[in-house]
Amino acid sequence: MSDFTQWPLRPELLEALAGQGISAPTPIQQASLADILAGRDVLGQAKTGSGKTLAFALGLLSRLQPVPGVQALVLCPTRELADQVAQAVRRAAARLPNLKVSAFYGGIPLRVHVESLVHEPAVVVGTPGRVLELIETGALKPDALNTLVLDEADRMLDMGFEPAIQAICKTLPARRQTLLFSATFPEAVRALSKGYQREPSEILLDADT
């Protein structure tokens, strides 16, 4: 039996974990999943490679409702990370039928992404610049959004994405869960959390910055 059965996860998610050979949660998953699944805002810091993606993927997939529209948005610093995160979410969602996960980033014509939004992904993963463009053109409508993830927040700030994140957040429903993950925890990340999270549960596993 998988250790993940300690949480109220849908059987489809437990089956997908078993199918990937994932049986024991990593320390950041162990420390954050209860709060994530309870719908709380979570600020999670743990070093690279510690399994932060699966922690928020299980959270946003657990909150999906049978309604149309984009329900979860994950912001990442680079196209490579956006693709990796989208793949990880798809693997975790492998047993959920008809769930579409799209990745959007620059370097691809905007029109290609606008057209793919016609297929109504429930989960969007993207870089802040392109996601903002898609919201501003009206192609991406965030009214049904219930989960926002700021992934690799330290790197997004290093890359100057704060203004785009701010502009995106202004368009999102205020009533939402906001999850923030970072490999390091400098003051700028704390400030970002203060700006966009409500009473987050802070899980700092090896912060040295």
Contact residues toward ligand ADP (CB under 6 A) are: 22, 24-26, 29, 46, 48-54
Q: What are phi and psi of 183, to 5 degrees?
A: -85, -25
Which CB atom, from 43 or from 117, has the smaller least distance to ligand ADP?
43
Q: What does 22 interact with, of ligand ADP, Mg ion, none (CB < 5 to 8 A by kind)? A: ligand ADP
**What string marks each residue from 41 to 70 as x (binds Mg ion by CB under 5 A) or -?**
-----------x------------------
Q: What are phi and psi of 110, to 5 degrees?
A: -55, -40
Question: Which residue in 35, 37, 57 sits closest to 203, CA to CA?
Answer: 35
**Beta-carbon contacts of residue 67 (< 8 Å; ≥ 6 apart):** 144
| Residue 94 burial (CB count, 10 A) | 15
Pattern of binders to Mg ion over 2-41, x per CB under 5 A? ----------------------------------------
Distance in Å, CB of 181 to Mg ion, minimum: 6
96 phi-psi bin (left φ>0, alpha ψ -120 to 50, beta other)? beta
Between 52 and 90, CB nearer to ligand ADP: 52
